[in-house]
Chain A
Amino acid sequence: MATTTGRLTARLGAVGLLGTRRRRGAQERADARLGMLLAAPAVVTIFLIAVIPLAQTIQDSLFQISLKFENAPRPFVGLDNYQLVLGDESWFNSLRITGLVAGASVAAELVLGMVIALLINRSFRGRGIVRASVLVPWALTTVVSAKMWAWIYDGRYGVFNDLLMRLGVIDQPIIFLVRPEVTIWAMIAAEIWKTTPFMALLLLAGLQLIPHELYEAAALDGASRWQALWRVTLPMLKPTILVALLFRTIDAVRMFDLPRVLTNGGPGKSTETVVLYTYNTFFTALNFGYGSTLAVMIFLIVVFVSFIYIKVLGAPTQGARR
């Protein structure tokens, strides 16, 4: 195989020498044309399903559109909807909740994921089992995960209460999904369970790229393990950490499946995230004008968050995936 490739390269070299400048120019133009042609289907799809509808949403946000009645008038209202957002207590409530859920879950995921990654960053027996089990929460459908946790948290028959009572932590079962101050943490815990393992996996992949020589050099210079962690590991891992944080934060802002299925935003509006509130504005209140305004706000939040990360990070051409 190696020799074949070598021969081919030699042959190509010869061909390259024979090629004239003009031919190379024509080749470049042909490549450019082909490149754009090959990218076209993807670009067209993205425009049809994302870019054009986004423009439509922005346009809708300037109108008053109710789908409650077939032929209701749809007057242009300019920026009135945006003015409404500024005074909308439900919006700010959902914003606070999204911020709390995103902040708490992403921070916990990062710390836990880091500890796990550092600890399993070595070869040991059964590593395959660990890697496979890490992928189970990640691959699991969020809706299924939400149902699972609803069952685990169940006030009367839930296994979580049962365990806590057997361990003597509580005497009476807690009805997790009825008390707002408990429910939101129950939801955050479910989110952390689903995403921490994957965070650990990403960080582990980053750890494995750090050259051993750096640690050897640090040890020679008399650095303790703790110093090596702060002076070598974390700086080297920074790009990976930032990419992981970027995508996890954005996922948390976009969170919909978990609150929709686990609590449906309740009790009251205590777990209503921005996307859930917007969704209800669209499809329960059938208020497509104001819903579009909220959707534009969410889009702007995502742009803002990614802008900040990318400023720190430099634009990533590729990214961490859910």
Chain B
Amino acid sequence: MTFRASTVSAHALPGAVASRRERRRLFEGLGFHAFVVAFVVFCLAPFVWTLLTSLKGPATIFEVPIRYLPAPADLVNYRDIFGLDRFRWALVNSIIVASSATSISLVIGALCAYAIARLNFPFKNLLLALVLAIAMFPGIAIIGPLFREFNAWGLTNNYLALILPNVTFTLPICIWTLTAFFSELPSELEESARVDGCTRLQAFYKITVPLSAPGVFTAAILLFIQAWNEFLFARTFMSQPNRLTATVAIAQFEGADIAAQYPWGQITAASIVITLPLVVLVLLFQRRIISGLTAGAVKG
């Protein structure tokens, strides 16, 4: 009935209806694009504002009303923070800790993920439950004993004190991502290698590992970001100024001149420096990161 009526009216006034429909589509399209733009602005604005602030000299930062664009752009804040021993050390420390934790976690996690994806073994469900529990584990529940043990073993201010917890807490993501990836590789390739005389382990590192390079790479990005951002353990187990990681250095930043006004210029510059690697990774590999991140969530 409705259908009939609309055809009739469309016949009666074809031009008007078509243009009304077109106009509606145009408005919907405009509304949609406005929404998308607003959403992108919402996501990026705080970061962009930090970037703009970091490019301002001390005089323009503390100007009321605010001048939004730095004119002229000034790199003085970046010069200042790279002149700070503590900041240079923080970058080095973060790179060492995050990349060591990532590599160790990848090796341990890949072996475990391979076992989960390909082999039947006792306690497998228990292992999966353990991995899930680690993903939800509150770090605060172990910080006391770890602090005392690391003190007793002389591990405070040692990279190991951060690498070990980071390895442990990046394992779930590593195992999930790689298990999903290994499961998708056809097991026939490996089995035929074994028919040709390879052992399981040989088949693993001759066939599966090279083929799963993209999955390992995706996992590596996710683990590196997690380890790079870690704060709780880094703040607790490192106290010497040249052993702090970047997150702790930013949190405790006092600037080159402690007597001066709160050094927002230097803080924003330091923030940009320590997040730029992550933002670049994200922009280059967004597709990979998203598929790695969401695969487990929607399939699980």
Contacts and interface: CB of A to CB of B under 8 A. Distances in A.
* Majority secondary structure of chain A interface residues (helix, strand, loop or mixed): helix
B19 interface: no
Nearest to A173: B64
A39 B115 contact: yes
B60 to A, nearest CB: 11
A41 B231 contact: no
A3 to B, nearest CB: 13
B170 to A, nearest CB: 10
A123 interface: no
A147 B116 CA distance: 41
B242 interface: no
Contact of A128 (B119, B191, B286, B300): B286
A33 B122 CA distance: 9
A105 to B, nearest CB: 15
Given A116-B39, A151-B267, A317-B132, A298 B141 contact: yes
Interface stretch (B6-14, B69-77, B220-228): B220-228
A294 to B, nearest CB: 8
A146 B50 CA distance: 12
Interface residues of A, number: 108
B298 A39 contact: no
B296 A321 contact: yes
A19 B202 CA distance: 21
The interface centre, meaning the residue of A54, A135, A250, A316 with most chain B CB atoms within 10 A of its CB, is A135
A84 interface: no
Interface in A262-312: 275, 278-279, 282-283, 288, 291-292, 295-296, 298-299, 302, 306
Interface string B247-261: 110110100000000
B180 A140 contact: no
Given A119-B32, A131-B286, A151-B50, A45 B144 contact: no
A322 B139 CA distance: 15
Contact size class for B? 35 or more
B300 A261 contact: no
A128 to B, nearest CB: 7
Given A32-B120, A34-B200, A135-B289, A45 B168 contact: yes
A172 interface: no
Interface of B: 32, 35-36, 39-40, 42-44, 46-47, 49-50, 53, 61-66, 107-109, 111-112, 114-116, 119-124, 127-132, 134-149, 164-165, 167-168, 171-173, 175-176, 179-180, 186, 188-189, 191-192, 195, 200-201, 222, 225-226, 228-229, 231-232, 235-236, 246-248, 250-251, 253, 264, 267-268, 271, 274-275, 278-279, 281-283, 286-287, 289-290, 293-300
Interface of A: 5, 8-9, 11-12, 15, 28, 30-36, 38-39, 41-43, 45-46, 48-50, 52-54, 56-57, 60, 116, 119-120, 124, 126, 128-137, 139-149, 151-152, 154, 156-157, 159, 162, 165-166, 193, 197-198, 201-202, 205-206, 209, 239-240, 243-244, 246-247, 250, 253-254, 256-257, 260-261, 275, 278-279, 282-283, 288, 291-292, 295-296, 298-299, 302, 306, 315-322
27 contacts: A35-B121, A38-B112, A38-B115, A42-B171, A50-B134, A53-B146, A56-B142, A126-B36, A128-B286, A134-B43, A141-B229, A144-B250, A144-B275, A147-B250, A154-B264, A157-B62, A205-B297, A247-B135, A250-B136, A275-B138, A275-B140, A282-B147, A292-B144, A295-B142, A296-B141, A318-B295, A320-B293
